[in-house]
Amino acid sequence: MLKLFAHSGIIWAFLITLAPAVYGAQVQSQWVNFDPHGRLVYRALPKGDHIMDFSYAGYGGGGVAIPDVPVKITVNPGGDDARQIQAAIDQVSQLNLVDGHRGTVLLSSGTFNCDQPLTVKASGIVLRGSDGTVLNLTGTPHLAINVSGERKTATEGQRTVITDDYVPSGSDSFVVASAAGWQVGDTIQIARPVTSAWVSFMGMNTLVRDGKAEHWLSGTLETERVISQISGNRITVSVPLSDDYDSRYLKPPGSTAVKVKISGLISEVGIEHLRILSPPQPIEITQPQFKALQFVDAQDCWARDLDIHDTIGSVHVGEGASRITIARVTITHSVATQGAALQSDFGASGTQALFDRCSSTGNHLFYFATFGRTQGPNVLLNCVFHGEGHVQPHMRWSTGLLVDGCQAPTGGIDLMNRGIMGSGHGWTMGWGVAWNCQAKSYVIQQPPGSTNWAIGCRGTFELEGMPPVKDPKLPSGIIDSPNSPVAPQSLYLEQLRERLGDEAVRNIGY
């Protein structure tokens, strides 16, 4: 079945064939393939690590249709536009929640000149444009739209140690010293310590730039999961873990888990059908910038059908944000930023983010980047990038990224060690997957104790050293079926179909 999508003058065409029988003799990956019953089978590495189930990324935890929230207030352009819009948002914020929603602020057709950020800090609000609605950013550089809660995390009880010698990446269960007082439905925070032994094992204890030592990571890497099953002291969680937990390098003190109560997140906020215009910005990224949109301390939110021009660091799923869908968002640059440092058009510091059918056109940039300590699953699905840029996780050990069916015909897709680049970004990504992508070039490297995969991808695969040196070359990650696409065409969509059924796939427009 061929589906066509039109947005911002771009025609999107995707061949959607989810049933395994359709593939016939098409090549299958040795790492994920179909069994005789049409179910996905995952090949594991010697310690049990395998490609994770990425289908939990997106609004509602994947496969949930974005709601159509009724209009409560309509705003017309003219006068002090930014303050008029903000007043309408604030007014709707006072309405009662009905099924999680308060209402939509509808911007009528026309140009709204905005000299300050629009801020959404309550749940259940949608900011929606009409045909021809433009947010024109004016004044001093600022963020156009800020969706932000105020997360608070309270521990409930004592931390307990994870007693497994090794918890593989992709696992959904582990054993703790004591699960006393925990119940199904509880949220737990899992902490993976950054020890000197692990930093040394990763080769990140020798970063030196201009004669000065650079610092990679310290503290802990934390992620939250909801308990779905308890059997003795074995805990099963609702979303698989994107990283591994190897006690050889993490003791003392060892990885731990604690029951937590998280409050202050906002949810059910949508940003829809807008054109956002910024003045061209031929500047270095250290200078003040016009940006488009960020979600911080937010859950189950979305942005869709946005046409963005000339903002820098445009769309960010930030810290404390989870289960966010960014769909059919197009970013276009008329000028490139200056200087050696690059900005990202799309970025993720949160988790379970789905970037679906998005596009970026421009040079001298990262089309997509993860930032330090980002825990997956996060997914780029059927995105198209034009220009001399890269999909490149950016710094300090993120895990669990899927780049699925994406195209960067004149750019690159890199899951790599950035060494002393930036401020000592080092290993940027582990347990990442590029699946059936097309790019000019790939740098897919193998971190110590981990790996990255490129499966069914078309383009040139390159070996690189750890910056700033060209040699020795770092080990390649797993390159499977190069220049021969594999079945299923989309790993994310097939995982979603298998977990939740065909309706879940239709719910997100496939």
Asked if the model's pLDDT at residue 467 lies above 90, the reply is yes
pLDDT: is 441 or 6 the higher one? Answer: 441
pLDDT at 341: 87
Structure tokens at 274: 């807008």
pLDDT at 26: 78
pLDDT: is 274 or 211 the higher one? Answer: 274
pLDDT at 5: 34
Q: How many CA atoms lie within 13 A of 407 on its CB side?
A: 11
Strand, helix or coil for residue 498: helix
CATH number of 153-263: 2.40.30
Residue with tokens 């680049």: 421
pLDDT band at 433 (very low <50, low <70, confident <90, very high): very high
Distance from the Cα of residue 55 to its chain's centroid: 12
Question: Long-range contacts: 502-508, Cβ < 8 Å, 24+?
Answer: 502/18, 503/63, 504/62, 504/63, 504/64, 505/18, 505/63, 507/63, 507/64, 507/65, 508/58, 508/63, 508/65, 508/325, 508/327, 508/356
For the stretch 120-142, pLDDT in tens is 999 999 999 999 999 999 999 99
DSSP for 353-368, written as a single string: EEEES-EEE-SSEEEE
pLDDT more than 90, % of the chain = 93
pLDDT at 498: 98
pLDDT band at 446 (very low <50, low <70, confident <90, very high): very high
CA distance 199 to 201: 5
For the stretch 152-181, pLDDT in tens is 999 999 999 999 999 999 999 999 999 999
pLDDT band at 340 (very low <50, low <70, confident <90, very high): confident
**Radius of gyration, CA atoms only, the chain:** 22
Please state the domain extents for the chain: 59-63+132-138+268-502, 153-263
Contact 369, 343 (CB under 8 A): no
For the stretch 8-67, pLDDT in tens is 333 333 333 343 333 334 799 999 999 999 999 999 999 999 999 999 999 999 999 999
Contact 104, 70 (CB under 8 A): yes
Contact 166, 245 (CB under 8 A): yes
pLDDT at 11: 35
Mode of pairing for the β-strands spanning 220-231 and 234-237:
antiparallel
Size of the chain, expressed as the number of residues it contains: 510
CA distance 236 to 254: 19
Neighbouring CB atoms inside 10 A of 79's CB total 9
Return the closest-CA partner of residue 382 out of 364, 415, 405, 351: 405
Structure tokens at 380: 């780029």
For the stretch 240-255, pLDDT in tens is 999 999 999 999 999 9
How much is the average pLDDT of 143-152?
A: 98
pLDDT at 280: 96
Contact 285, 343 (CB under 8 A): yes
